[in-house]
Amino acid sequence: MAISSSSTFASKTLKFSAPKASILNLHYSPPSKTYLKSNLNFTLKPPSLSLSFNPHKVKPPIKKSQRNGFEVNSLFTGIVEEMGEIKELGVSKIDGGFDMKIKGKVVLEDVNLGDSIAVNGTCLTVTHFDKKLSEFTVGLAPETLRLTSLIELEAGSVVNLERAVKPSTRMGGHFVQGHVDGTGEIVGKEVEGDSLWIKVKTTPEILKYIVPKGYITVDGTSLTVVKLFDEEDCFNFMLVEYTQQNVVIPLKKVGQKVNLEVDILGKYVERLLSSGFVGAMKSA
C-alpha cells in the first residue's frame, strides 16, 4: 500500500488591494482499495465569499488537530485498555480526508467528541462515535499514514486502544505521548516457555534513544527493552503470557511493521547536552 501526495499553489491578485486567494488541488492516493481526488476552489469577490468543492459539498471543516494525531497534546501510559477492530477506512464524505471507523467498547465508556485515543500508539482524535454500535471514528492526515504503520491496516485488522490519561489515572506504564517516532520491522519471533521473544529492526536515528532495561512503546504498548543489537540496528523484548493475550503484537507476522515511540526523557537529555546547558552549569 502506498501513499503519495502533491500540492500546487496558484494565486490571483484581487482588486481594491484585497488579500490573495489560493487554489489548492490535492491529489492523494491511499491504499489500493481507496482512491481520493479532491479539488478545492476558493474564489473571493468583494464583498462576498463563495466556496465550491468537487465532488462533495463542504461542511464545517474538522480542526487540524483532529486530522493529525501528532498535534494533539495528550498523555498515555502504554497500558492497552482493549483491542479494537477496524470496521471501515476510506475517504471521508464530509471533508475529503481519510477516516477510520473502529469497533471498541471500553474506550467509549466516557468518550466525548474531540477526545484523544491512541490507536496502535498513534494519538488520534474522535470525530464521531456511536455507543449503541460500539463504534467511533478518527481522522487521519496523509503525514500520519506516511510515518506510522497504520497504512497497513484494513477492515478486520485488530488494533491496540487506550484513552488519554486523567489526573486520577494510575501510571502503570511510562509517559507515552502518542507521537510516533517511526516504525520498526519485526524480524524475529521465538517462543520460550509461555513467553514470546520479539526482535525488531529500526533506523539508527531511533535506535540511539533505546537502551537495555529502558522503556520503548511498540504499537502503543509500554515495554522493557532487553537487549540491543547495534550492528543489526535491532533490539528485542519479551512478552509474558498475559500481555500476549491482550495486545496485537503477537498477532503480527515477521516482516510486518510496528509503531515505535522512544522514551521522551532521552530526547530531553540530548537537547540539554547539545545546547551547552551542562557546560554552563559547571562554569556557574
Per residue in 182-217, pLDDT tens? 999 999 999 999 999 999 999 999 999 999 999 999
Catalytic residue, chosen from 129, 148, 164, 179, is 179
Domains of the chain, start order: 5-54 (no CATH), 182-270 (2.40.30.20)
Query: Does residue 76 have an active-site annotation?
Result: yes
Query: Does residue 234 have an active-site annotation?
Result: no
Query: Does residue 116 have an active-site annotation?
Result: yes
Query: Does residue 243 have an active-site annotation?
Result: no
What end-to-end distance do the CA atoms of the chain give, in Å? 55
Tell me what the pLDDT averaged over the chain comes to.
79
Catalytic residue, chosen from 38, 77, 122, 141, is 141
Which residues are CB-neighbours of 244 under 8 A, at least 6 positions away?
196, 250
Per residue in 69-86, pLDDT tens? 334 467 899 999 999 999
Catalytic residue, chosen from 76, 98, 129, 136, is 76
Look at residue 146 and tell me whether its pLDDT is greater than 80.
yes
Catalytic residue, chosen from 98, 118, 123, 221, is 123
Query: Does residue 34 have an active-site annotation?
Result: no
Strands 5-12 and 21-28: antiparallel
Q: What's the pLDDT band for 99 if we cut at 50, 70, 90? A: very high
Mean pLDDT to the nearest integer, 225-229: 97
Catalytic residue, chosen from 74, 77, 122, 125, is 125
SS (H, E, C) the chain: CCCCEEEEEEEECCHHHCCCEEEEEEEECCCCCCCEEEEEEEEEECCEEEEEEECCCCCCCCCHHHHCHHHCCCCECCCCCEEEEEEEEEECCCCCCEEEEEECCHHHCCCCCCCEEEECCEEEEEEEEECCCCEEEEEECHHHHHHCHHHHCCCCCEEEEEECCCCCCCCCCCCECCCCCEEEEEEEEEEECCEEEEEEECCHHHHCCCCCCCEEEECCEEEECCEEEHHHCEEEEEECHHHHHHCCHHHCCCCCEEEEEECHHHHHHHHHHHCCHHHHHHHC
Query: Does residue 127 have an active-site annotation?
Result: no
pLDDT of residue 267: 87
How many Cβ atoms from other residues are within 10 Å of residue 88's Cβ? Answer: 12
pLDDT of residue 37: 42
Grid coordinates of 106: 471500553
Query: Does residue 224 have an active-site annotation?
Result: yes
